[in-house]
Amino acid sequence: MLAVLIAGLAAHISVNAFNEAADFQNGLDATTQRTPFSGGSGVLPAHPELLSAVRRLAWGSLWVLVMVGAWLVALRGWPLLWLGALGLLLLLSYSRHLVRSPWGSLLAPGLAFGPVMVVGAHLALGAPLDVRVCWASLVPFFGVNNLLLLNQLPDMRADQAVGRRNWPIVFGTRAAVHAHGLMSMAMGGVVLLGVGLGWFPVLSLGVLVMAWPAWQVWRELKRLPELGVPSHACLGRNVALAVGTPALLALSLVWS
């Protein structure tokens, strides 16, 4: 279990460090009007001398991930290799390539934190592949996609200036709002259908308490004009949805 935790933390540190360095080098940090929900830490614009340290952190944590991942593959077998390879591809391509694709930037975050991490951790802990785990991984898939999707709205002009082509830039604010609404409904649908099929316990219906903040987010977003920016309260609720929904589902599964 410790090895799985180390691999997950190393992956998260590495992709954030690569993104931090890329945003500083391409000038994005210099043009972004930062909010509490903007990507990156904002450290490098104030301390550019730390760029080489950030790069070392990115590559060092990637090396830890590869070493721990290789050990887990040797321990658990080849199916874990394919998920690990997909995770590495997402990690290494996100900052330079996927942010220039509307579909890549929309789906890659949830794919990494959902199916890759959830199913990968399940296999790494020695459990057999299970359709229930694959289905449960869709909750963080939709939630994390929505998290980054809304966080892109305040930074659209700065992102576009450095060549990013994420979903709101290519298709507009209204399309981003509709995509967010569909994925929010899909997240709730995953839980309802999971309980209906007997894959999740009835206790998992408690996750639906998140329907209220989801409605509050949607109520504000549907009134958002083109190029409009959600309020900090709306963005905060969106973070709570992305983190709280899979956490509540996990607690219901553990409790049952």
Tens of pLDDT, residue by residue over 63-75, are 999 999 999 999 9
Please give the residue that has the higher pLDDT: either 32 or 191. 191
Q: Kindly tell me if the per-residue pLDDT of 163 is higher than 70.
A: yes
Q: Look up the pTM and report it.
A: 0.91
pLDDT at 39: 61
Q: Kindly tell me if the per-residue pLDDT of 254 is higher than 70.
A: yes
- Mean pLDDT to the nearest integer, 184-190: 96
pLDDT at 243: 95
Structure tokens at 3: 């090895």
Q: Kindly tell me if the per-residue pLDDT of 191 is higher than 90.
A: yes
Which of 87, 214, 89 minimizes the C-alpha distance to 150? 214
pLDDT at 34: 67
pLDDT at 40: 61
Which of 176, 186, 174, 182 minimizes the C-alpha distance to 152? 176
Which amino acid is residue 34, in one-letter code?
R
| Integer Rg of the chain from CA | 19
pLDDT at 106: 95
H or E stretch covering 130: none
Q: Kindly tell me if the per-residue pLDDT of 252 is higher than 90.
A: yes
- Mean pLDDT to the nearest integer, 161-181: 93
